[in-house]
Structures are given as structure tokens and as C-alpha cells.
């Protein structure tokens, strides 16, 4: 009888050991998943903060671009280039518009101008001029480009 009781006790302890081992594995997996989720949330928070900061800085860049257009100052042009390089390093890209077909997903038409294809002054539905540069960050539009689009007369 004592031998049978020892066998039952051993079996019981082995079952308990397996249960604890499974519980430990589940707990470890849960912890690893939590670490991954926290890391992703941290990245999202940083991206969100960067997006907000970049959106607040864009008007300053717009002012520099406007100043460079009127003054043709090399120092201002260099500052703009440096600014754009920093934005690019943060994953921000300019939206290409000039001469491109109007795309309402990334562009905002602020004016339509009559075109005359016979004189080479543009085509219908094509961006003639960019009023304000647009930007994309991680495949999402930060700010749409404001453009003038050609239309038939």
C-alpha cells in the first residue's frame, strides 16, 4: 500500500509539475507579447509626437520658401535644403505635383486655370503651378499640396 501511495503521490507531483511548467510558458509568452505591444505603442507615440511637431514647423518652412522665391538668397536656400534634409531623415517626403495629373488624395485644387494645348500652356487635369508644398509621412498625407490645375477654356 505504501508503494501505491508513493506512486500516486509521484503521479500527482508530476501532473502538478507539468501544469506549473505550462503556466510558466504561458506567462512567459504573455510577458513577451506585452513587451512587443509596449514597444509598438511607444513607437506610435513617438511618431504621433513627431507628426505634431512637423505640422507646427511646416508654416516656418513655407515662409522660408516664400522668402527664397522673392530674395533668391543663397543662405535662405541652404536653410531650406537643410530643413528638407531633416524632414526626409524623419520619413517626410515632398509630394511631387508640377506637371503631374491632379490627384485629390494628395492635392488640393485651389484654382483651375484655362489652358490652351495648341500654345503649349498646359493640359486639362494637369497641375500647372504649386501654391503650397504638400508632404507625406509614412505613406500618410501630412498636408496636401495646394495646386492650380489646368481646365479647358
Buried b (16+ CB within 10 A) or exposed e, 88-107: eeeebeebebeebebeeebb
Residue 126 near residue 78, CB atoms below 8 Å: no
Q: What is the mean pLDDT of each run of 10 residues along the chain (153 residues)?
A: 83 92 94 94 86 92 92 92 93 92 94 75 83 92 94 76
* CATH among 1.10.10, 3.30.70, 3.30.450, 3.90.20 for 1-90: 3.90.20
Residue 99 pLDDT: 87
Global model pTM greater than 0.95: no
CATH number for the domain formed by residue range(s) 94-153: 2.30.22.10
Listed by start position, the domains of the chain span 1-90, 94-153
Amino acid at each position: 500500500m505504501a508503494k501505491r501511495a508513493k506512486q500516486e503521490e509521484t503521479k500527482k507531483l508530476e501532473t502538478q509539475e507539468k501544469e506549473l511548467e505550462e503556466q510558466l510558458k504561458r506567462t512567459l509568452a504573455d510577458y513577451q507579447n506585452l513587451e512587443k505591444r509596449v514597444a509598438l505603442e511607444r513607437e506610435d507615440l513617438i511618431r504621433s509626437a513627431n507628426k505634431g511637431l512637423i505640422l507646427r514647423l511646416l508654416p516656418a518652412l513655407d515662409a522660408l520658401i516664400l522668402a527664397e522665391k522673392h530674395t533668391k538668397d543663397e543662405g535662405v536656400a541652404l536653410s531650406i535644403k537643410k530643413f528638407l534634409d531633416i524632414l526626409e531623415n524623419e520619413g517626410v517626403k515632398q509630394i511631387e505635383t508640377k506637371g503631374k495629373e491632379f490627384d485629390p488624395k494628395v492635392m488640393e485644387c485651389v484654382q483651375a486655370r484655362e489652358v490652351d494645348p495648341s500654345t503649349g500652356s498646359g493640359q486639362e487635369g494637369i497641375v500647372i503651378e504649386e501654391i503650397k508644398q504638400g508632404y507625406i509621412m509614412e505613406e500618410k498625407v501630412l498636408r496636401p499640396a495646394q495646386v492650380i490645375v489646368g481646365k479647358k477654356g
